[in-house]
Structure 1
Amino acid sequence: MKRFFTLLFLAASWPALAQYVQDYKAEGDRAFVNKDYYEAAYYYLKAADGLKITKAVDLPYQSSSGKPQNGQKPGDQLYIKYKLADSYRLYENYLEAEPWYYQVLNDAQQTNYPLARLWYGICLRANQHFDEAIKQLEQFKNAYKGDASSLALAEKEIRNCLFAKEQYAFPASIDVKKLKGKWNSDGSNYATIKRDENYWFTSSRLIKNDKRHLNRIYHLANNNTAEPEIIRFQDEEGRKEIEYGTPSMDPAGKRLYFTRWYKEGSKIVHAIYCSERQGEAWSRPRKLNSNVNPEGFSAIQPFITADGRRMLFVSNKPGGQGANDLWICNLDEQGNPTNSLNLGPEINTAMDEQAPYYEENTHRLIYSSRGFTGLGGFDFFESFGDLGNWAAPRNMGYPMNSAKDDLYFCPNVSHDGRFFISSDRESDCCLELFEVTDKRYFVSGHLMDCSTQKVLTGATVSLVDSISKQTVKQLTLASDAPYSFRIDTKRPYKLLFEKSGYFTKSVPVDGNGKMMADTLYQPDACLQPFEVGKPIVIQNILYDYNMATLRQESKTVLDGIATILNDNPKLKIELGAHTDSVGSEEYNLQLSQKRAQSCVDYIISKGIPMDRIFARGYGEAKPIEPNSLPDGKDNADGRQLNRRTEFTVLKTDVVVLNGIKQ
């Protein structure tokens, strides 16, 4: 399990221990070897005070002289600094570890500790100094000549930094807030489950009767006003140091599965147990059989599926991918495991996986892992599958994840968009309980023909990530069916609408899920039909009398043409200008050519390649209405319609030379 289980017990014991310690350095070494890193940090800090070493917290980013003080050996000083930094890091207090590593790296004898820069980079990443972390990790990679695993770790941490920078720039559309009231205490608080209007969770808060901090399972009513009530089992063994946590309940609420652990020397022994409800009490815990609890290995963090027939759990037993893996077993009618199966390399890595949760109706597995690219520590990942075949796990992003440890997902069964997680993001030692509010939204609507306003059946609508340019989801519209996409993050997206015989349209989506207005046609989702070779009149292209200079209103309309060409990169168009019959044919031909060219020049200035659009003036040669009435009088309305600008889609194999289609 994690470091928080015994920290407060150790801290409570320190004042008494310190009265009898003569050699703080030796005691720090002893605790470090026993992996009691919190205790080791205490003694190394005492040793640093004894040697009058400048505290790193006083000078967080200033170089120390590295000179011995009061005649002490410089090697002793550097050793204590390094071991103190290591102790802080190994119980994941990166904030305290970072400046001590900094002092080591600014010492003349730093070469005695070649991994110090790697650990310093990891601390920087955990403390969200991503750019400096990348710099330090790259420097470590270039200089280190040791084992490949350390270099691989540096590579992974660089990927974490790059991933984290993007996640912090475009967080998921959720709010994460620490639970108020009786949930969190002076100890660790984690691993919530909910049934009806009641919660069970794990806490290492002070047990008043025992006057000790021990992990126990607590019950809390939904009104959250009373003190959480400790769950006590019948005929519990007399060893007070036994701890319990990470509960999971069968569908009937009759069996409670949990982790039980205790310390033997320097080793912590973990196993999964079960207790039966007997009225208002719980029976004496029974250890599950060797399918789950093989001798000499750990089993932790049970999760019972909604049908009550299977249990997911975590174990380091043989047959996995390395370290702690996720496993699954079948349960018989008595709740006993009949087998066990590793969830496989798609889910598990060579590093730790923990805290499984499986959602039956969506076939979604949510769990925590250190083995994939993430923000650091344990991150939440989700994968979809049938407890056999799994899709590649997806990091659930920031702020669901943080630069520290994030574990234990629990939904709110009222389906109100809230759920619960455990994280030490606001603590230097311990997990706390957080409530997450889902603020993801949907962008939806109908796609229509811009001319007929009828729904376009068979059109393709895609949600595209505007940064990566990757399609997030794509669907084909059925008859009268709307498109609908859920927007999960605050990243910029766009909707791409496509159908044969229509101009493809790309429409940005703003942070509130609304489509931004189209500049050429209506802001509703509609596509403009076209036929190759058939002119389309562009409305509101305006010029001053006898001039070819574009007005500002005309530029706005031409921006829409540039958008069409950007959204349809294979299109080539002719832009044609027409006049009425006032004036000579030669004059009108020249004027129309100038007007067409001014339009083309403007569109090219927007980044459209000149080989995709060319200008052609037709003068008065192609009227669409008579310029004069049958009685010979002027037809003002007809002449106005003849003074027009059009664009025509050309065949894609058309070549244009000197304004002439070849």
Structure 2
Amino acid sequence: MRNKIITVCTAAVMLVMTASCGADKNMKKGEKFLAIGEYYEAAIQFKKAYGKTPPKERDKRGQRAAKLARCYDRMNSHQKAIAAYRNVIRYKQDTPETHAALARLLLKNGNYKEAAREFQTVLDTLKGNRLAENGLESALTAQRKKEEGSRYIVRKMDVFNSRRADFSPMFYGDEYDRLYFTSTRNEAEGDELSGITGTKNGDIFYSEKDDKGKWGKPQTIESGLNTEFDEGACCFTPDQREMYLTQCTSDPAYPRYATIVTSNRTDAAWSKATKLDITRDTLSSYAHPAISPDGEWLYFTSDMPGGKGGLDIWRVRITGAGLGGVENLGEPVNTAGDEMFPTFRPNGDLYFSSNGHPGMGGLDIFIASPDKKTGKFVLEHPGYPLNSQGDDFGMTFEGPHNRGFFSSNRGDGRGWDHIYSFEKPEIIQTVKGWVYEMEGYELPAAQVYMVGNDGTNLKLSVKGDGSFTQVVNPGTDYIMLATCKGFLNHKEEISIRQTDESEEHVLQFPLASIRVPVLIDNIFYDFDKYTLKPESATALDELVKLLEENPNVTIELSAHCDYRGSEAYNKKLSQKRAETVVEYLIAHGIAKDRLTPVGYGKEKPKTIRKKLTEAYPWLKEGDVLTEDFIKQLDKDKQEMCNQLNRRTEFIVLRTTYGMFDEKGNLKNPPKPAKEENKHDEDEIFDIFIE
């Protein structure tokens, strides 16, 4: 019997030693995965080690529970993380950081009373700890904020969501009819599962809206943009020709650092991503890019040195020569916690997510609006249901309207993020303008200057389709001037009245080329005469306005006939018609020496430009409507060509009229260079005055 007892005891000791040895191996493997940020793989090893650790080894069980809790926390496995942190406390291996982490998770889980107790435990030890104070405030006020609610309407968008994580939506397209977002769904590139999440690495997907306003099934991007690594959280430049996104490569022996990469859109496809070097720091993460509405700043998230703690929001200037100096946004935006996922509403408001400010749970969305007097940000918490007890982040706006999409893991026990729609009903008035060439296409290289009697002084960029949209204020008068190199300016004025519902005001900015003849449409003469018909006044008044807006321009005003009739008669008739138009312009205040009337008769038949081929598809760009060309066509097409030849045009001769005095000196010489980076308001006003 004694021998049997000894044998049994020896076996038990051997079993304990074997288990202990196995647990140590699991811990070593787990530490390796943890060092490179692969929390899912690390959690598997730590869980095995914890299970092999005898209950009587309380210190080790508590320490291993702490490792496991950290991994579950980073994986958004809230319930498992809470249980693991409670084990750390049960085995008396807790620190103030343990209670702070548990408090944040309880807050995220909606257990506000328990969260408050844990935050108070932290403050009993670390008096004055700002994060704990803000956390305690969140726990004490979150339920009240939820009950108060807000005017936001939030809906889950099943059409975009999968059984995995879907987040960071971003609108694309002039009509906001395409939505890009990140997803770890099974259709993502690569065959391996992420060591961080246990799912596929994230890829960029997109969905398109049809003519009926219905969103389609998400699709993969068929280009070199997505890889076997993580891609996500994208944004676009104002001209929508370049995408900025986050990429996270993996290396079995190296920590995972997120980087920002760029992709260009050519031939309707996105190119392979290229790394963007923001600084020379290779040991910090750079993620969640956002481009400011004016296209001059790149905002991003980073843990680089010099921040307020955790992850901060930074920005760097975008210049023609590359990126400028890096700036930390500082307070009140950044805290000792994490500030992430910056994005902009077109009105300039910065939206971001934070777990460092008092909120309702995990990451809460905050609005940072620049104060008009000081320029400093003023923070606003938009309340429930835009924010919840979970993580809320990654917003995108449908133009100037306070509606769009965002991400949240609210109500998902596994911690997966999903895409939701949001809308806050409000009255918004906008001006939508279109800048294009007369007889031509849109001018995306144009600039629009906007001045209002409320102090508005803006320079607006034009999109790829030649359009721009700007929110305007009721009771304000605006002057808007469209300019583009190689074209004359065009000015529009508009008064915005108070309304009871949202309204869009549409303005047209047709710019006249200074290089090619410009047709003056809707000029009518009596048959076989040079007398102007009354209905010509509208078009001629527009020409008067154009010349007033461009006072340094002189033009040749030409009239043309078709090939029928004698050459001498056509020449005389067209000259008289040109002179009649010039007389009208002079009578309406345009200086005579700015106008040169010329009648060409049939000498200069019309040359077809590309835009005209859309109305006359049987014509080609570059066709010249000579007599021989026309006579080869069908009878009905011949008459159309004759109508095109019978036209009144102008071409710019000079752009320096009145700019020099009698001695040849500039009357208004350029002003001295102003301070670098100073907002040049006078320059904008000068454009309207000159």
TM-score, length-scaled by structure 1: 0.53
- Kindly state the Cα deviation for residue 410 of structure 1 after the two structures are TM-superposed: 0.7
Equivalent position to 1:163, from 123, 133, 141: 141
Structure 1: state its 5+ residue gaps.
1-19, 52-67, 443-480, 487-662
Contact 1:367 1:382 in 2 (8 A): yes
Equivalent position to 2:30, from 17, 28, 31: 28
Q: What are the superposed Cα offsets for residues 341-376 of structure 1, whole Å, 9 maximum, x if unpaired?
A: 333323222332222222343x31111122211123
- Kindly state the Cα deviation for residue 421 of structure 1 after the two structures are TM-superposed: 0.8
Distance 1:289 1:159 in 2: 39
Equivalent position to 2:368, from 383, 393, 400: 383
Contact 2:285 2:302 in 1 (8 A): yes
Contact 2:107 2:362 in 1 (8 A): no
Distance 2:23 2:217 in 1: 39
- Code of the residue aligned with 1:331 in structure 2: it is I
Contact 1:233 1:285 in 2 (8 A): no
Partner of 2:404: 419
Query: Aligned to 1:397, what secondary structure does the other structure show?
Result: coil
Q: Residues 148 and 40 (structure 1 numbering): CA distance in 2 closer, same or farther, change over 3 Å?
A: farther
Query: Aligned to 1:421, what secondary structure does the other structure show?
Result: strand
Partner of 1:131: 113
Q: How does 1:32-71 map to 2 (within 5 A)?
A: 32-50=34-52
- Code of the residue aligned with 2:47 in structure 1: it is L
Distance 1:253 1:176 in 2: 27
Distance 1:403 1:316 in 2: 25
Q: Does 1:349 align with 2:311?
A: no
Q: How does 1:322-471 map to 2 (within 5 A)?
A: 322-333=309-320, 336-361=322-347, 363-385=348-370, 389-413=375-399, 415=401, 418-427=403-412, 428-438=414-424
- Kindly state the Cα deviation for residue 420 of structure 1 after the two structures are TM-superposed: 0.9
- Kindly state the Cα deviation for residue 114 of structure 1 after the two structures are TM-superposed: 5.8
Q: What are the superposed Cα offsets for residues 241-288 of structure 1, whole Å, 9 maximum, x if unpaired?
A: 433222212232221222222124342232222222111222333333
Q: Residues 48 and 268 (structure 1 numbering): CA distance in 2 closer, same or farther, change over 3 Å?
A: closer
Partner of 1:555: none
- Kindly state the Cα deviation for residue 194 of structure 1 after the two structures are TM-superposed: 3.4
Q: Does 1:271 align with 2:259?
A: yes
Distance 1:435 1:253 in 2: 22
Distance 1:100 1:323 in 2: 23
Partner of 1:287: 275
Distance 1:84 1:329 in 2: 37
Contact 1:174 1:440 in 2 (8 A): no
Query: Aligned to 1:160, what secondary structure does the other structure show?
Result: helix
Contact 2:171 2:179 in 1 (8 A): yes
Q: How does 1:640-655 map to 2 (within 5 A)?
A: none
For these two proteins, the number of residue pairs brought into alignment is 398
Distance 1:313 1:116 in 2: 29
Contact 2:23 2:50 in 1 (8 A): no
Q: Does 1:201 align with 2:181?
A: yes
Cα RMSD over matched residues? 3.6
Q: Residues 431 and 155 (structure 1 numbering): CA distance in 2 closer, same or farther, change over 3 Å?
A: same
Query: Aligned to 2:123, what secondary structure does the other structure show?
Result: helix
Distance 1:136 1:353 in 2: 23
Q: Residues 187 and 121 (structure 1 numbering): CA distance in 2 closer, same or farther, change over 3 Å?
A: closer
- Kindly state the Cα deviation for residue 308 of structure 1 after the two structures are TM-superposed: 3.0
Q: What are the superposed Cα offsets for residues 491-539 of structure 1, whole Å, 9 maximum, x if unpaired?
A: xxxxxxxxxxxxxxxxxxxxxxxxxxxxxxxxxxxxxxxxxxxxxxxxx
- Kindly state the Cα deviation for residue 386 of structure 1 after the two structures are TM-superposed: 7.3
Contact 1:189 1:204 in 2 (8 A): no
Q: Does 1:216 align with 2:170?
A: no
Contact 1:185 1:205 in 2 (8 A): yes
Q: Does 1:300 align with 2:287?
A: yes
Partner of 1:450: none
Q: Residues 31 and 275 (structure 1 numbering): CA distance in 2 closer, same or farther, change over 3 Å?
A: closer
Query: Aligned to 1:110, what secondary structure does the other structure show?
Result: coil
Q: What are the superposed Cα offsets for residues 408-454 of structure 1, whole Å, 9 maximum, x if unpaired?
A: 11112384x53211112233333221112325799xxxxxxxxxxxx
Contact 2:167 2:407 in 1 (8 A): yes
Query: Aligned to 1:155, what secondary structure does the other structure show?
Result: helix
Q: Residues 86 and 313 (structure 1 numbering): CA distance in 2 closer, same or farther, change over 3 Å?
A: closer
Distance 1:297 1:111 in 2: 30
Query: Aligned to 1:393, what secondary structure does the other structure show?
Result: strand
Partner of 2:63: 79
Distance 1:132 1:284 in 2: 48
Q: Residues 293 and 40 (structure 1 numbering): CA distance in 2 closer, same or farther, change over 3 Å?
A: same
Q: Residues 185 and 413 (structure 1 numbering): CA distance in 2 closer, same or farther, change over 3 Å?
A: farther
Q: Does 1:89 align with 2:91?
A: no
Q: Residues 358 and 137 (structure 1 numbering): CA distance in 2 closer, same or farther, change over 3 Å?
A: closer
- Kindly state the Cα deviation for residue 179 of structure 1 after the two structures are TM-superposed: 1.0
Query: Aligned to 2:288, what secondary structure does the other structure show?
Result: strand
Q: Does 1:102 align with 2:86?
A: yes
Distance 2:43 2:392 in 1: 24
Distance 2:153 2:285 in 1: 35
Distance 1:430 1:272 in 2: 23
Q: What are the superposed Cα offsets for residues 565-613 of structure 1, whole Å, 9 maximum, x if unpaired?
A: xxxxxxxxxxxxxxxxxxxxxxxxxxxxxxxxxxxxxxxxxxxxxxxxx
Q: Residues 73 and 300 (structure 1 numbering): CA distance in 2 closer, same or farther, change over 3 Å?
A: closer
- Code of the residue aligned with 1:80 in structure 2: it is R
- Kindly state the Cα deviation for residue 130 of structure 1 after the two structures are TM-superposed: 1.1
Contact 1:259 1:301 in 2 (8 A): yes
Partner of 1:599: none
Structure 2: state its 5+ residue gaps.
1-21, 193-199, 429-496, 503-690
Partner of 2:11: none
